Amino acid sequence: MRAHINKITFISLLGVLLMLGCQNSDTRLQAQSTDSSEEQALVTLTEYSDYQCPACAYFHPIVEKLKEDYGNKLKVIYNDYPLNNHQFAMLAARAAESARNQGKFKEMHDMLFQNQRQWSSSGNPQPIFVNYAKKIGLDVNTFKADLNAADTQKAVLDEKGQGMDRGVDSTPTFYINGEKMVNLPRTYKQFKAQVDIYMEEARKTAHSGN
């Protein structure tokens, strides 16, 4: 009986997360973007996200599958948007940026989302992030130095500033070809259906221009 109640509670909580995302408690300004994809993209998906946000972790495999299925037809841009009410979100974002400096952003990005529960409840995730750096083959001394560097902090805040300028106030927030997704899809199928609309529009535009 207790297990049944816990299952219902989890499903209800997931629904709330998807409807609300992680709410922001900030108001500041911003300026830059980040990760992924190739040329010839027909559609650009821009994400503002927080590594400690449960809803962001939920969408991580969905976005990865979109990238896999569309290939270079879909360009995905990941932007840091650490919320003030998430104690370790800024540190996690700096960990990803520090890994980027050594060409391993994707590897750290995936580890942070895949292991979110572990490090976010640890009380002190920095040693965990250093261990991730070792696992993905980073120079650990360089990683530690970058983790606390002013330039790394600035890179994260610049991306967050860009989002604030665009009206981002919760995570995750997605834009498709510059248009904000007002209602977040709950499943991969629903998300793909929205991307397909923009893909079709882009194909029609490209065809009419030939």
Q: For 117-141, how does the pLDDT look when each residue is reduced to its tens digit (9 = 90+)?
A: 999 999 999 999 999 999 999 999 9
Rounded CA gap, 52 and 41, in Å?
29
Instruction: Assess whether pLDDT exceeds 90 at residue 66.
Output: yes
pLDDT of residue 4: 45
32 domain-assigned: yes
Domain CATH for 181: 3.40.30.10
59 domain-assigned: yes
pLDDT in tens, 7-35: 444 444 455 455 456 755 443 323 333 44
Of all residues in the chain, the percent with pLDDT exceeding 90 is 77
3 domain-assigned: no
Contacts (Cβ under 8 Å, ≥6 apart) of 142: 101, 102
Asked if 77 contacts 67 with a C-beta cutoff of 8 angstroms, the reply is: no
12 domain-assigned: no
* Amino acid of residue 82: P
This prediction's pTM: 0.82
Burial (CB count within 10 angstroms: exposed 0-12, middle 13-18, buried 19+), residue 116: buried
Which residue carries 């967050």 as its tokens? Answer: 160
167 domain-assigned: yes
Strands, DSSP E only, in 43-172?
Answer: 43-49, 74-80, 170-171
